[in-house]
Amino acid sequence: MDYLKTQGVDTLNGTIKISGAKNASLPLIAMTILAKNRVTIKNLPHVADIKTLLKLLSNLGASCEISLENVTVDTSKIHETKATYDIVKTMRASILVLGPILSRFGHCEVSLPGGCAIGQRPIDLHLKALEQMGAQIVIESGYVQATAPNGLKGCNIIFDKITVTGTANIVMAAALAEGITTITNAAREPEVVQLCEVLNASGVTIEGIGTAMLTIHGTNGKLLEIDEFSIIPDRIEAGTYLCAGAITKSKLTLTDVEPKHLGAVLSKLEEMGCKCSVTEKSITISPADELQPVKIITQEYPGFPTDMQAQFLALATQANGTSIIEERLFENRFMHVSELQRMGAKITLNGHTATVNGKTKLSGTDVMATDLRASSALVLAALVASGETNIHRIYHLDRGYDSLEKKLEGVGAKIQRLKE
Ligand code: UD1
């Protein structure tokens, strides 16, 4: 197993290129199941979750040719419709194949993902919506077994809660369904928007893209001709490196980024005293003289992303005063708190709210990554901790950050990947 050995630094300086978004790549790779042609996807990040999904597709019979940041997927020879436990247990987003497989083949089995470190994360809303579309669903031996012998039918779906992968799943199911599907209370995340835009350009008319009300005109089983496209920049990776600039009081420039997707994050960094100057595809952060405390409530897009909560919590340990961070999306997403406390952070947890008293001097020690974004919070803390921090279990980090240690090393961080 790999771990990261990190030493505190005075400052960082330079430019970081942002990779394609993991959370956009996953549904868009699953979407290739709806295609009749070989589909080329460009600007994929090198992260474990993408490899896992490509392996899942290969197990089903698809061929996936990878070259650098691009992949060409041919799903014409899919002969299997079962996503097995060994893959789904490593990546919950495997559930994204349920909608497209069911709508193309009329049957699909996907292992139930189970709980995870940040909370229960049920998939009841995905299943309820598919049932409304005419699917018959049973849960047996830990698997969702879905059939739609007469195909899926368009209908009006109202999500009780906004769900990102749920919206993506149902949009893909609706793409080949008979008739029109409407989704009320749809997710508006940029990653869902890109999925809708690509489908819309491939023969599935979708109205309301980027709003909470989507109308999808199904093709009634006709497979799609999907042109090559490029994945949007990863807004969470970008936000994490902006926090690296803010916490180390460094000027950093990010390139190949989409500033429009980072509104809530940039606004909180400015509230904390940093300056963020933006061009069409770059952001430069100039540090605050003294970081100010902040109040954050995580919300669905365009609100403050839950995937940036852990990183801002690390940042708040270096702010001068009391910050309050409330997690509204996942019930257990504060696992990084106890590790940060071991580094000297003064954080109290009360239900879904963390109160961070800064500024505290952090000191390096051995810490354990507990989930993807929690891992990057520990890296941020390690950048300003005195002495050496060893971050273990970084397989969590590798699920979603492309070459994190190389990118940070490139701007002056002292960070090394080693074997346990
Ligand atoms: C996606 C992102 C993840 C991000 C999250 C919230 C991907 C691959 N992952 O996860 O990085 O943290 O959005 O922005 O894009 N819920 C239900 N029933 C369901 C589905 C969801 O109760 O059937 C609840 C969840 O438990 C959670 C909330 O809805 O409390 C939002 O979850 P959801 O948007 O579905 O998260 P994911 O799509 O799993």
Distance in Å, CA 166 to ligand 1 centroid: 8
Distance in Å, CA 126 to ligand 1 centroid: 11
Pocket lined around ligand 1, Cβ cut-off 6 Å: 23, 26, 93, 119, 121-126, 161, 163-166, 191, 306-307, 329-330
Distance in Å, CA 167 to ligand 1 centroid: 10
Distance in Å, CA 60 to ligand 1 centroid: 25
Q: Is 108 a catalytic residue?
A: no
Q: What is the model's pLDDT at position 121?
A: 79
Distance CA 112, CA 19 (A): 30
The pick from 25, 118, 124, 164 for probing ligand 1's pocket by mutation, whose C-beta has the most ligand atoms within 8 angstroms, reads: 164
Atom in ligand 1 nearest the alpha carbon of residue 128 = 23
The pick from 139, 165, 311 for probing ligand 1's pocket by mutation, whose C-beta has the most ligand atoms within 8 angstroms, reads: 165
Q: What is the model's pLDDT at position 393?
A: 94
Instruction: State the distance between the two ends of the chain, measured CA to CA, in whole angstroms.
Output: 6
**Ligand 1, atom 39: closest residue by C-alpha:** 165
**Ligand 1, atom 32: closest residue by C-alpha:** 163
Distance in Å, CA 218 to ligand 1 centroid: 25
Atom in ligand 1 nearest the alpha carbon of residue 120 = 26
**Ligand 1, atom 4: closest residue by C-alpha:** 307
The pick from 120, 163, 328, 399 for probing ligand 1's pocket by mutation, whose C-beta has the most ligand atoms within 8 angstroms, reads: 163
**Ligand 1, atom 3: closest residue by C-alpha:** 307
Catalytic entry in 108, 116, 274, 276: 116
Question: Residues 66, 59: contact at Cβ < 8 Å?
Answer: no
**Ligand 1, atom 27: closest residue by C-alpha:** 329
Distance in Å, CA 71 to ligand 1 centroid: 26
Distance in Å, CA 238 to ligand 1 centroid: 20
**Ligand 1, atom 29: closest residue by C-alpha:** 163
Atom in ligand 1 nearest the alpha carbon of residue 330 = 30
Q: What is the model's pLDDT at position 114?
A: 63
**198 exposure class (CB count in 10 Å sphere: 0-12, 13-18, 19+):** buried
pLDDT per position in the chain (420 positions), as tens?
Answer: 999 999 998 899 999 999 999 999 999 999 999 999 999 999 999 999 999 999 999 999 999 999 989 999 999 999 999 999 999 988 989 999 999 999 999 999 999 886 566 667 789 999 999 999 999 999 999 999 999 989 999 999 999 999 999 999 999 999 999 999 999 999 999 999 999 999 999 999 999 999 999 999 999 999 999 999 999 999 999 999 999 999 999 999 999 999 999 999 999 999 999 999 999 999 999 999 999 999 999 999 999 999 999 999 999 999 999 999 999 999 889 999 999 999 999 999 999 999 999 999 999 999 999 999 999 999 999 999 999 999 999 999 999 999 999 999 999 999 999 999
Token pair, residue 136, equals 């018959």
The pick from 56, 96, 121 for probing ligand 1's pocket by mutation, whose C-beta has the most ligand atoms within 8 angstroms, reads: 121
Q: What is the model's pLDDT at position 119?
A: 66
Question: Residues 414, 9: contact at Cβ < 8 Å?
Answer: yes
Distance in Å, CA 163 to ligand 1 centroid: 5
**Ligand 1, atom 25: closest residue by C-alpha:** 121
